[in-house]
Amino acid sequence: MRSTMMDAPLLVSRILEHGATVHGASEVVTWTGAEPRRMSYAEVGAAAAQLAHALRDDLGVTGDQRVATFQFNNNEHLVAYFAVPSMGAVLHTLNIRLFPDQVSYIANHAEDSVVIVDSALIPLLAKVLPQMSTVEHVVVVGGGDPAPLAGSVTIHHWDDLLAGKPTTYDWPELDERDAAALCYTSGTTGNPKGVAYSHRSIWLHSMEVCMPEAFGLASTDRELAIVPMFHAMSWGIPFAAFMSGASLIMPDRFLQGAPIAEMIAALQPTKAGAVPTIWNDVLGHLATGSSLREAIVGGSACPPALMDAYAERFGIQIVHAWGMTEMSPLGSVSRPPAGATGDALLAYRDSQGRFPAGVQARIIGPLGEQVPADGESVGELEVRGPWVTAHYLGEEEPDPEKFRDGWLRTGDVGTLSADGYLILTDRAKDVIKSGGEWISSVELENVLMAHPAVLEACVVGVPDERWDERPLATVVIREGSTATPDELRAFLAERMPKWQLPERWSFIQEVPKTSVGKFDKKRVRSDYAGGALEVHTLD
């Protein structure tokens, strides 16, 4: 039996129209260091129509052409967020922090036709533009000198383009499963990979972001959106703000602790979202008595001491959110269950939280079998749902390293509790597969580094004839201290199961690091394989 419901597609243009009319008096405010720049949502709606007219009539954008942004979080980036998908084109948010050859790779892979760039980012774009082979137009926002961009592209000025254009647009009726926006993940190996969000997935994800179990956005909120709009769509907050009527505060390029604390004092956000590093930077600058009640933290786990500091000194609750670009990005949020208090409450707070109905989750153990949600059985987290990607852009078949039977393999390892809470402990590639069981390298490292003589410890899996893999412990001894492999193994043995204890030990001068300062485990494994490490093997 077919339902009698209307066949109304879930389109970004409807979110735009809703925000620009019902919540037309809500506003987006961009920090400038001086007087903030304000636009009402009604004005954003008008400007989005003008931009769409300009893209279509002046730049010739048609169909599903890609329009890229190379911008900070600001009013004009918000206008582009709505104008481009609403007109049927595809918004591509370029990540300004990637290596230049990654940026041009991405622009070429997506076949971007247009790039919208903030004046302040002209020098950065100028470095990569010559390698962008499909870009024909660049739109410059603000008054900077566009000369460095000169070459084979046509340069336009945002204000000139929009001036005099009609402030309404007859948005097309699209298929809700068409692509609306593109975002590339910057994996640690290989080229970045594209994820194409649909109008439908953006709609459903926006509703989720607004739900109380997630960010709980309401029209009475003012959300400080610190997460870059070029990073996983700023966690979907711009779209969710137009859906709920929450006002937006945009930091533009002012992402240091001091100006963010100033924004909080001056513009009175009720909620905010950022990575832990930012919250750490802000802490020393924040004034008491701010309106901020809640800060969402994602990207990595927040140190409990930082959460305590915000709660105790400012009455600000820090809430963990976990997700991935591949997930639009919202997965789980660590809201405690009703009635939790004391240590249990803290444990819930420190977890990665619970999943919404739109994200189904399962834990796959070392043998490829689903393990129970009992808070103890460890495995790789897999997810699926209407705002999770099924494959990467341009892949003919889903990559089996990242997808399995219609599920996304997150590459994160941990447990799910009986009451639905996720606790992540390792990246899958850092787990040591020993005789059908998994050993957490991170756990071994943490215990080793608690030994007074150990400055750094990096544990990796190395090939073993009998057990497939066994842990190799590489250890940097603190200056002036001494310790033997036997002593360190005895120290571990008091705290870890016997079968997890490393046989192989190597004392090194320094753990090799990646460009972002993480342990370079690939390098450690290749050093071992190449015989570059002096290894002591215990019985």
Q: Where are the alpha helices (DSSP H) in 211-275?
A: 237-244, 257-267
* Whether 276 contacts 301, CB under 8 Å: yes
Count of residues that interact with a copy of itself, criterion CB under 8 A: 74
Nearer to a copy of itself, 81 or 197 (CB): 197
Among candidates 77, 87, 78, which has minimal Cα distance to 13? 87
Neighbours of 458 (CB within 10 A): 26
Considering only residues 207 through 226, tell me which ones interact with a copy of itself, judged by CB under 8 A: 207-208, 210-213, 216-220
Among 287, 345, 390, 529, binds a copy of itself (CB under 8 A): 390
Among 37, 40, 58, 64, binds a copy of itself (CB under 8 A): 64
Nearer to a copy of itself, 15 or 117 (CB): 15
Build a one-symbol-per-residue string for 337-376: x at contacts with a copy of itself by CB under 8 A, - elsewhere: xx---------------xxxx--x------------x---
Nearer to a copy of itself, 193 or 470 (CB): 193
* Whether 428 contacts 404, CB under 8 Å: no
Which helix (H) or strand (E) is 479 found in, with range? none
DSSP 8-state class, residue 142 = S
* 279 contributes a contact to a copy of itself by CB under 8 A: no
Stretch of 9-17, 118-126, 477-485, 522-530 lying at the interface with a copy of itself (CB under 8 A)? 9-17
Considering only residues 81 through 100, tell me which ones interact with a copy of itself, judged by CB under 8 A: 90
Active site residues: 185, 326, 433, 438
Least distance (Å) between residue 267 CB and a copy of itself: 13
The Cα–Cα gap between 12 and 201 comes to 10
Least distance (Å) between residue 418 CB and a copy of itself: 7
Stretch of 30-38, 131-139, 206-214, 426-434 lying at the interface with a copy of itself (CB under 8 A)? 206-214
Least distance (Å) between residue 204 CB and a copy of itself: 7
Which phi and psi angles does 189 have, rounded to 5°?
-125, 150
Q: Residue 58: CB partners within 8 Å, gap ≥ 6?
A: 156, 161
Neighbours of 38 (CB within 10 A): 13
Among 157, 293, 391, 404, binds a copy of itself (CB under 8 A): 391
* 53 contributes a contact to a copy of itself by CB under 8 A: no
Least distance (Å) between residue 178 CB and a copy of itself: 7
Nearer to a copy of itself, 59 or 243 (CB): 243
Among 171, 197, 235, 314, binds a copy of itself (CB under 8 A): 197
Among 384, 402, 451, 521, binds a copy of itself (CB under 8 A): 384
Least distance (Å) between residue 353 CB and a copy of itself: 10
The CA-atom distances, in angstroms, between 278 and each of 70, 254, 284, 298 are: 21, 11, 11, 11
Cis peptide before 329 (omega within 30 of 0): yes
Which helix (H) or strand (E) is 420 found in, with range? none
* Whether 360 contacts 416, CB under 8 Å: no
Q: Residue 3: CB partners within 8 Å, gap ≥ 6?
A: none
Nearer to a copy of itself, 219 or 256 (CB): 219
What is the b/e burial string over 49-75, where b = at least 16 CB atoms within 10 angstroms of the residue's CB? bbbbbbbbebbebeeebbbbbbbbbbb
Least distance (Å) between residue 243 CB and a copy of itself: 5
Q: Is the dihedral of CA 477, 481, 483, 489 positive or negative?
A: negative
Nearer to a copy of itself, 418 or 490 (CB): 418
* 463 contributes a contact to a copy of itself by CB under 8 A: no
Least distance (Å) between residue 453 CB and a copy of itself: 44
* 243 contributes a contact to a copy of itself by CB under 8 A: yes
Among 120, 255, 275, 393, binds a copy of itself (CB under 8 A): 393
Stretch of 113-121, 143-151, 294-302, 378-386 lying at the interface with a copy of itself (CB under 8 A)? 378-386
DSSP string, 332-373: EE-PPPTT--HHHHHHHHHS-EE--TT-EEEEE-TTSPEEPS
Nearer to a copy of itself, 214 or 472 (CB): 214
The CA-atom distances, in angstroms, between 458 and each of 296, 299, 439 are: 30, 22, 14
* 191 contributes a contact to a copy of itself by CB under 8 A: no
Tokens 């100006």 -> residue:
259
* Whether 295 contacts 319, CB under 8 Å: yes
Helix axes 304-314, 276-283, angle to 10 degrees: 40
Least distance (Å) between residue 92 CB and a copy of itself: 11
Considering only residues 404 through 423, tell me which ones interact with a copy of itself, judged by CB under 8 A: 406, 418-420
What are the structure tokens assigned to 496, written together? Answer: 């870890």
Considering only residues 311 through 340, tell me which ones interact with a copy of itself, judged by CB under 8 A: 335, 337-338
Nearer to a copy of itself, 194 or 471 (CB): 194
Which helix (H) or strand (E) is 93 found in, with range? strand 90-93
Stretch of 121-129, 240-248, 433-441, 456-464 lying at the interface with a copy of itself (CB under 8 A)? 240-248
Among candidates 471, 472, 473, which has minimal Cα distance to 457? 473
